[in-house]
Amino acid sequence: MSRVIAIANQKGGVGKTTTAINLAGSLAENGNRLLCVDMDAQANLTVGLGLNPRTIERSIANVLIEPGVTIRDVIVPTQTVGIDVAPSDIDLSATENTLFSAIGREYALREALQGWAHENYDFILIDCPPTLGLLTINALVAADSVIIPVQTQYYALKGFNALVNVIDQVRSRGLNPDLRILGLLPTFFDGRTLLGRDMLEELKSMGDHHIFQNMVKQTVRLGEAPLVGRPVTEYATNSEAARVYRGLAREVIELG
Ligand SMILES: Nc1ncnc2c1ncn2[C@@H]1O[C@H](COP(=O)(O)OP(=O)(O)O)[C@@H](O)[C@H]1O
Ligand SMILES: [Mg+2]
């Protein structure tokens, strides 16, 4: 069985997709088989792993709403050994509306991953869109655990409670009773500034959550990543960013 990890935060630009790509890269380096599921209509994960959305005929959108289309039908390999993608495309925004009136609408992704995907991958990483809508709920219902990237800059914690509330409801309404918050991942972190250190203190006060020790600093290496189409562990293998994401992968494995 694979471990399924959702990477969620309804704020955009906090490093969800960057974390999905580079955590995948680090886990794949250790010989793990990865499936990255792109649940965002913007398809940044799909592009960030080197795929051209224009060449994608069927995406996760088809899997979620078309009976008979399985995850296996849409998965494509990437240039990085060990990483496959279930790509997204712009249709995914319409999918959310269609799914809304479907029976079992919260379980569509969970069901899609049952069987073949669980048997063929060590890890399934789900990159969530910047909303708390049905696509994010689907990710939370399909996942064993959630990583929450938090941008350690102004207003970063606004909305954090709303996300934790949704996670609590997914558990308490029985959609996924065992869902666990694996940890909060500080991103764009600058430990040299008062703001960075203050934010970290504030993060610690947000409840009894694990905070990953491998915090992601702001770095051009990661800013240019979407253009490269590969994880930083491959294209800047000795960079500080690669080192941090390798450390994060170790923490994720240790947390079990
Ligand atoms: N640690 C970082 N340092 C510099 N730029 C980053 C870092 N993490 C992400 N970025 C850049 O910031 C933008 C938003 O990151 P992204 O991972 O797409 O966020 P999200 O998926 O939460 O919207 C992207 O252009 C990405 O390349
Ligand atoms: Mg994203």
Q: For the segment 31-69, what is each residue's pLDDT rounded down to a tens digit? A: 999 999 999 999 999 999 999 988 999 999 999 999 999
CA of residue 211 to ligand 2 center, whole Å: 21
**Ligand 1 pocket test, candidate residues 189, 222, 228, most atoms within 8 A of CB:** 222
Mean pLDDT of 160-172: 96
**Three-state SS at 110:** helix
Q: What is the number of the ligand 1 atom nearest to the C-alpha of 9?
A: 22
Is the model more confident about 10 or about 225? 10
Count helices and strands in the chain by DSSP H and E runs: 14, 7
pLDDT at 196: 85
pLDDT at 158: 81
Token pair in block for residue 100 = 């809304």
CA distance 15 to 25: 15
Is the CB of residue 13 less than 8 Å from the CB of residue 151? Answer: yes
130 CB less than 6 Å from ligand 1? yes
**Per-residue pLDDT tens over the stretch 67-108:** 999 999 999 999 999 999 999 999 999 999 999 999 999 999
Q: What percent of the chain has pLDDT over 90?
A: 84
Q: Does residue 115 come out as left (phi exceeding 0), alpha (psi in the -120 to 50 range) or beta?
A: left
Of the ligands numbered here, which is closest to the C-alpha atom of 12? 1
CATH number of this structure's domain 3-255: 3.40.50.300
pLDDT at 207: 87
Q: What is the number of the ligand 1 atom nearest to the C-alpha of 220?
A: 4
Q: What percent of the chain has pLDDT over 70?
A: 100
Q: Which of 20-29, 64-73, 155-164, 179-188 has the lowest mean pLDDT?
A: 155-164
Whether pLDDT at 157 is above 90: no
The pTM of this model reads 0.97
133 CB less than 6 Å from ligand 1? no
pLDDT at 195: 85
Which residue, judged by its Cα, is nearest atom 20 of ligand 1? 13
Mean pLDDT, the chain, rounded, equals 95
Mean pLDDT of 233-246: 96
Mean pLDDT of 212-232: 91
CA of residue 223 to ligand 2 center, whole Å: 13
36 CB less than 6 Å from ligand 1? no
Which residue, judged by its Cα, is nearest atom 10 of ligand 1? 223
CA of residue 45 to ligand 2 center, whole Å: 7
**Per-residue pLDDT tens over the stretch 117-130:** 999 999 999 999 99
Nearest to 152 by CA among 89, 216, 205: 216
pLDDT at 121: 98
Q: How many CA atoms lie within 13 A of 12 on its CB side?
A: 7
Nearest to 44 by CA among 64, 18, 70: 18
Of the ligands numbered here, which is closest to the C-alpha atom of 38? 2
Whether pLDDT at 112 is above 80: yes
pLDDT at 17: 98
Lookup result for tokens 């998965």:
75
pLDDT at 226: 77
